Amino acid sequence: MLTETFRRGWALLFATAQYARLTERERARTIYFITTGLFVLATVMIFVLTFPDTNENLLQRATHDPSISIPLVMFYLLNGLAFWLTRLGRSGLGAVVLSLTWILSFSVASALTGLNSAATGMILITTVLLPALLLRMRGLAVGVISTFALLVV
């Protein structure tokens, strides 16, 4: 009984019935997975990540540092928008918004730190690969152009 209720709730939350083609359903599932994973990861990191100079966590630092609070708010708004657009049956637009979520929040934040570590390098690689995964060749072009723009600026 509980398992069946869980399955119905899961199917309702991550609905793909509005998509006719298998490729659209798979893209919607991918967007659901990535948006949910990023939401959980970011929420955990808000409380776990601490700054050594002040011993504040990310949430405490974001209350008085706009270079952290603006990308953080932008991330949650755009991530929610990507999830909502996918639920409405607009997985293509949801993929664009999810790519923008990554580029405008994580990639810009890593560029502001100087792009001088392996972690920021992985963020740049994901800036190319995530749009390519979701939007194919158009996404690859957007990812490469965005990465070059981050490196130049």
Give the mean pLDDT per block of 10 residues along the chain (153 residues): 76 84 90 93 87 84 84 91 93 92 81 73 86 90 89 79
What distance in Å separates the CA atoms of residue 129 and residue 72, rounded to the nearest whole number? 22
* Residue 76: predicted pLDDT: 94
Q: Is 14 in contact with 29 (CB distance < 8 Å)?
A: yes
* Residue 40: predicted pLDDT: 94
Amino acid identity for residue 69 in this structure: S
* Residue 114: predicted pLDDT: 72
* Residue 96: predicted pLDDT: 93
